[in-house]
Amino acid sequence: MSQPTSFDFIIAGGGSAGCVLANRLSASGKWQVCLIEAGPADRNPFIHMPAGLIPVVRSKVLNWRFWTEAEPNCGNRPMFWPRGRTLGGSSSINAMCYIRGHAWDYDHWASLGNEGWAYRDVLPYFRRMENFEAIDKVDDGRSFHGVDGPLNVAEPRHVNPLMHAFLAAGQQAGHPLTDDFNGAQQEGVGLYHTMQKSGQRCSNARAYLTAAKGRDNLTIITDAHAARVLFDGKRAVGLRYVKDGRIHDLKARSEVILSAGALGSPQLLLLSGIGPKTELARHAIAQVHELPGVGENLQDHLDIHITMREKTRHSISLRPLGVLKAAVNLVRYLLFRRGELTSNFAQAGGFIKSDAAQAIPDLQWHLVPFVYAHHGQKLAPLFKHYAYTLMTCFLRPESRGRIRLRDADPKSPPLIEANYLATERDMDALVKGFRKAREVLNMPAMAKHAVDELEPGRAVQSDEQIRAYIRAKSETVYHPVGTCKMGRDAAAVVDSRLRVHGVERLRVVDASVMPTLIGGNTNAPTTMIAERAADLILQDAALERSVPNYRPVMAPAEAFAGK
Ligand SMILES: Cc1cc2nc3c(=O)[nH]c(=O)nc-3n(C[C@H](O)[C@H](O)[C@H](O)COP(=O)(O)OP(=O)(O)OC[C@H]3O[C@@H](n4cnc5c(N)ncnc54)[C@H](O)[C@@H]3O)c2cc1C
């Protein structure tokens, strides 16, 4: 039977957001939905085994393996940016820490003019999406969490003793203990809840596509690279994609939705003729609509780490004892879904303030029980050391980067200018964070595990030395957002219903629409965005069906002209 070529909704990108939309838009059976994903189906067993995240991040098939341009404030280093390239997108390769961000972040979005995105508006969506296993074990769990949603959120099945030592050390350093970073009290040190079920990764593909896959009205096309949106004037009418070297055009009766992530969605808009005039002209792309903000406003969390050599040998290494432990853990995982291979490694962390003047935490910690070496790309240090690494990032950076086109070929990687550390404030906050991290690592509960500081080493003490170390060694913690930002100002790309300004029947739904980076990891916020977007899309579609001459309202010109 030949595949249909006309759908009500076409979603480009089967990642964290795309999987949510595919499920919710097809749930009623009324709408024909098509999901286009550039990568393969998520069959690789390493995706599902939590500790498989290291081979998965090393993969050339499941990871786009992007690189930024040379970063001017980070020693002119191009920096490695992993992004998921399979069903589930980055939720199939991420570290599974379940964090929503601070209530302030969403109230801030609303204060920028984004109606419907205040914390009180988004909390019901956070609750709708989750099945929070620990609901009765955390303070006031029922006010903050849900138990009926598809995304399973679990307590860690395996906690390395170093994590407990870290929680004790954090308290010795004066940080409170919190049992739920997503509940009443974000501030403090604690264990991360994880997006896992029964010891396996619960990616958004597992959570949202498993139940939806068999629906007659949902078509999922993998290994299909979206090339551009097709327009009739300023109205999106379809999507072009490339599969097996052949071009295919699909018709959209209702809407095209871009969910290709913070790098893919602006790239697709630009390839489709929507973006800054100069950028379109530079690549001889016919302009459909000028939108100066496409690809701008890129924000990311930048991490700096401290690694301690360990004497108690709880950490993960590839030294003989470590390999023996790994073998035992493999058996435990295969037979019982227990042990270290159920671990996302970053089992403990914290949200802390860089100084007492901060109203809410502005730094985040992730502790991992091994030597941190370039996103798991370099394994050699694991053969040498037992060690643990504490990573610190500043949560609300002022620096803004951008995404541009390298050329007009849809298969070329986007040009990424992260522009980290462009302001003094961003650097100062990381220096303070570095000092706080060193303080906690030297508290008695943690110090008893340490031989010495492996990186950067005790010689690095002055602010200037710490700054130089940050410039030389900081790395992404994988949270790029903001490149199709929601808003009403001249740089906004979508309105608060996530419709692209100035054109019809086109939305962006993914991490790119965040106007500002939230204080935490970004998968749960992206999932929430897609949950809410599904409601908005279905409301508009229902209205259009019941009112024959109804057209989705174009965002008013004055809104994006900043008047
Ligand atoms: C290594 C890593 C660790 C992370 N750890 C955590 C964590 O512990 N906790 C957390 O909350 N967040 C974490 N994140 C971040 C989080 O996973 C992302 O913010 C989130 O997945 C973004 O969702 P998205 O839908 O915007 O994009 P993605 O999930 O990246 O989805 C985009 C999808 O679009 C597809 N695509 C792109 N271009 C095209 C095209 N032209 N045609 C067709 N398909 C296309 C991609 O292949 C991908 O499947 C991590 C991310 C990474 C990479």
Q: What is the dihedral of CA 77, 80, 81, 85, to 10 degrees?
A: 150
Residue among 54, 86, 87, 94 to mutate when testing ligand 1 (max atoms within 8 A of CB): 94
Total Cβ atoms within 10 A of residue 230:
18
The single-letter code of the amino acid at 494 is V
What local confidence, expressed as pLDDT, does residue 562 receive?
35
| 4-39 b/e (C-beta count within 10 Å ≥ 16 → b) | eeebbbbbbbbbbbbbbbbbbbbbeeebbbbbbbbb
Total Cβ atoms within 10 A of residue 357:
6
Place of tokens 């410039």: 471
Element (H, E) at 335: helix 320-336
The backbone torsions φ and ψ at residue 450, rounded to the nearest 5 degrees and listed phi first, read -95, 145
What local confidence, expressed as pLDDT, does residue 227 receive?
98
Q: Which atom of ligand 1 is nearest to the CA of 64?
A: 47
The Cα 223–Cα 161 span in angstroms is: 42
Place of tokens 């097709």: 230
What local confidence, expressed as pLDDT, does residue 489 receive?
96
Peptide bond into 414 cis (omega under 30): no
What local confidence, expressed as pLDDT, does residue 383 receive?
86
Q: Which atom of ligand 1 is nearest to the CA of 268?
A: 41
The Cα 207–Cα 397 span in angstroms is: 31
Contact 117, 109 (CB under 8 A): yes
CA of 65 to the centre of ligand 1 (A): 12
The Cα 130–Cα 121 span in angstroms is: 16
Q: Considering only CA atoms, which residue is closest to atom 14 of ligand 1?
A: 94
Q: Which atom of ligand 1 is nearest to the CA of 520?
A: 11
CA of 494 to the centre of ligand 1 (A): 20
Contact 201, 48 (CB under 8 A): yes
CA of 275 to the centre of ligand 1 (A): 22
What local confidence, expressed as pLDDT, does residue 402 receive?
98
What local confidence, expressed as pLDDT, does residue 211 receive?
92
What local confidence, expressed as pLDDT, does residue 373 receive?
79
Residue partners of 319: CB distance under 8 A and separation at least 6: 383, 384, 385, 386
Instruction: Please state which CATH number belongs to domain 157-191+302-394+422-473.
Output: 3.30.410.40
What local confidence, expressed as pLDDT, does residue 556 receive?
40
Residue among 91, 196, 208, 483 to mutate when testing ligand 1 (max atoms within 8 A of CB): 91
Residue among 258, 301, 345, 478 to mutate when testing ligand 1 (max atoms within 8 A of CB): 478
Architecture of domain 1-69+82-155+198-296+402-417+485-563: 3-Layer(bba) Sandwich (3.50)
Q: How many residues does the chain have?
A: 563
Q: Considering only CA atoms, which residue is closest to atom 35 of ligand 1?
A: 13
Q: Helix or strand or coil: residue 433?
A: helix
Quick one: tokens of 272?
């489709």
| 265-285 b/e (C-beta count within 10 Å ≥ 16 → b) | bbbbbbbbbbbbeebbeeeeb
Q: Helix or strand or coil: residue 132?
A: strand
| Residues of each domain in the chain carrying CATH 3.50.50.60 | 1-69+82-155+198-296+402-417+485-563
Q: What share of the chain is helix, strand, coil (3-state, %, to 5)?
A: 30, 25, 45
Catalytic residues: 479
Where the chain has pLDDT below 50, the residues are 554-563
The backbone torsions φ and ψ at residue 151, rounded to the nearest 5 degrees and listed phi first, read -85, 110
Residue partners of 323: CB distance under 8 A and separation at least 6: none
Element (H, E) at 35: strand 33-36
| Residues of each domain in the chain carrying CATH 3.30.410.40 | 157-191+302-394+422-473
CA of 234 to the centre of ligand 1 (A): 29
What local confidence, expressed as pLDDT, does residue 382 receive?
86
Predicted structure pTM score: 0.96
**In sequence order, which ranges of 231-317 are alpha helices (DSSP H)?**
261-271, 277-282
